Amino acid sequence: MTETKNFYSAANQNISHLNESEKRIFNYVLKNFDEAKHYSIRQLAKKCFVSSATIFRFTKKLGFEGYSDFVDSLLNTSEAPQEIPHSVKQKDYREEYLKNIMESIRVADQERMETFNQLLDNDPVIYLIGEELDQQALHYVDWLFTAQGFQSVLLSDKAAVRNALHNIKDNDILFVFAYTGDNPAIIETIELVKQASQATIVSFTRAVTNVVQNLCDIDFYIFTDEIIYDSLDMTSRISMIAIVELILYKRLKRSLTNE
């Protein structure tokens, strides 16, 4: 009988071969280790918003014979490590950090950026919504919009959301930072806005198919390495902010040129 591989040894040896989507599957497994042990391939695919074929390729890249072999390795491991696996920890994070920002900017759709800029020409009220770290990043985005003369409203609590639903107009914008793309409260707000108006919904999410992305009119996706420290999400939102800055700086340049 073939000896069951050690999950962490396999990860340390092969994680560098994973693409961005596969790294996110890996991070999901680490964060939900006990539950992932008991998922079928379809269940894990649904949780990660990918296809079963992607999960299968992920397990093969880690050196397993297939999904069953992968699950056996999880079942034979008592718990997830408290630290990122050695090979991940030792990589040049500076290089990865810069690469993720550059790749996020490179794939940012120019047509979508221009469409968003055209929406701003209609002098909309911009309602900003996000949770936890996404909301913290939105404080700066709120300042950027306000500095350029837009009416910007940060929806920081349920009362603010309720008020926005009463006042939002068809030419307004719901501006969403939702990295994971599966935040229940954000999804509910988007659905309520769609019922209340024809406001344009613009989202920034991770580069994995997700619910928020599918509900929005314009979506910008980003690449980043997910970092969880002491159960807190510390994943960088810099790529989200960088795209917003590029859109607004281009607009500012155009305004200065016309003066």
3-state secondary structure 178-208: CCCCCCHHHHHHHHHHHHHCCCEEEEEEECC
In a domain, 143, yes or no: yes
pLDDT tens readout for residues 101-139: 998 898 888 889 999 999 999 999 999 999 999 999 999
Residue 90 pLDDT greater than 50, yes or no:
no
Which of 62, 91, 120 is at the close of a domain? 91
Residue 68 shares a structural domain with residue 26: yes
Return the axis-axis angle of helices 52-61 and 67-75, rounded to nearest 10°.
70
Residue 84 shares a structural domain with residue 125: no
Which of 91, 119, 137 is at the close of a domain? 91
CB 64 within 8 A of CB 5: yes
Q: Which of 1-15, 80-94, 111-125, 140-154 has the lowest mean pLDDT?
A: 80-94
Residue 79 shares a structural domain with residue 153: no
Residue 136 shares a structural domain with residue 239: yes
Residue 95 pLDDT greater than 90, yes or no:
no
- The structural domain count of the chain equals 2
Q: Which residues have CB under 8 Å from 90's CB, separation 6+?
A: none
Residue 135 shares a structural domain with residue 209: yes
Residue 83 shares a structural domain with residue 120: no
CATH of the domain at 83: 1.10.10.10
Closest CA to 50 of 208, 197, 211: 208
Q: pLDDT tier at 3 (50, 70, 90 boundaries)?
A: low
In this predicted structure, what is the pLDDT of residue 14? 74
Residue 194 shares a structural domain with residue 123: yes
Residue 252 shares a structural domain with residue 141: yes
CATH of the domain at 150: 3.40.50.10490
Residue 82 shares a structural domain with residue 153: no
- The domain of 17 spans 7-91
Measured CA to CA, the distance from residue 169 to residue 161 in angstroms comes to 14
Residue 56 shares a structural domain with residue 131: no
CB 204 within 8 A of CB 177: yes
Measured CA to CA, the distance from residue 14 to residue 121 in angstroms comes to 49
